[in-house]
Amino acid sequence: MRRNSPAVQTAVCLLLAFLLVPAWAVPARGEEPLTIAFLPRALGNPIFLDAFEAAQKKAHELGVRLEWVAPFDFDSAMQVEMIENLIRRGVDGIIASVNDEEAVQKVIQKAMDQGIAVATFDGDSPESGRLFHIGIDNFRAGLAIGEALVGVLQERGLAEEELNTMIMTGYREAFHHEERIRGFLEATDGQVNLNVVDIIENEDTVEKAIILLEDYVGRNPEVEVIFFVGGWPFYVPSEALPNFQRWAKEGGIAVGIDLFYDALLLQKEGLIQYLIGQDIASMGAVGLELLVNYIRYGEVPPAFVETGLQHANESNLDRLLEIHKPWLVK
């Protein structure tokens, strides 16, 4: 029998996350405890659970208090309000995944001006004055998935054909999403003949991404290629995506960024041809340690700390399925 649905898993995991947030951790080597707030883009996106788990373990090691706060679904205005509240409370540091919007830039600058160290992970705001960013090189990730698509199309003898293409992203205002798209388009330009007919925004929301995908391929079965800028619709079994399943079985080609157990299952069934993954756990653990070392010891980290990319294709899919276990049983 298949485990609980991803929606149920997510709710259980998030509940456990709140229950497991430690009270004051024991300070390391007599250091005064620090309060560090982690703001993922959304609590409703399970991709960030790896960051939470890794950051929580690191917080115990370092003797800091970790707070995990975010809207359930991504909301820039609410995220700004949460950062304002953290500033008023006087937390020691903030690590946030954000859109590069003017309001976010200003609130990060405000926090820094008031002596609160701010870093970003996953989603960056380069113009905000944040201390550092930890994550993948999103442009390079876009290049890598674009190059992978070129290989898939060449293998299928489709490199010369004009292929109607849809791109699903979260927000066009998100710097990291736009960098992935830019890399993807550069890698495919002149190598294959993609006709990008639509770029759809799902507002960084898993549920909306699933609905939009099913509606789109149901109304536009003639689209031949889909590039998923993130893994939003991949948290459900294939039977929950009947239109997408039918589209893939009839020859549709899909590639995407984000690699986790449920996405790998869809790839195993042939619904996705190639995935590029990012090390979310390192963003949590390493990001926290770098911020704490800056606050405690004045150790200035590099402005950009790059975490690596992981590739999933037919050659290593079974091995990756053994490594990436369902979040519910971690």
Residue type, 153: L
* CATH code, residues 138-278+316-320: 3.40.50.2300
May I ask the CATH class of domain 6-135+280-299?
Answer: alpha beta
Residue type, 24: W
CB 160 within 8 Å of CB 193: yes
Q: Show pLDDT as tens, one digit a residue, over the chain (330 residues).
A: 333 444 434 433 443 444 344 434 444 445 568 999 999 999 989 999 999 999 999 999 999 999 999 999 999 999 999 999 999 999 999 999 999 999 999 999 999 999 999 999 999 999 999 999 999 999 999 999 999 999 999 999 999 999 999 999 999 999 999 999 999 999 999 999 999 999 999 999 999 999 999 999 999 999 999 999 999 999 999 999 999 999 999 999 999 999 999 999 999 999 999 999 999 999 999 999 999 999 999 999 999 999 999 999 989 999 999 988 786 533
What residues does each domain of the chain span? 6-135+280-299, 138-278+316-320
Asked, colleague to colleague, whether 6-135+280-299 and 138-278+316-320 share their fold, the answer is: yes
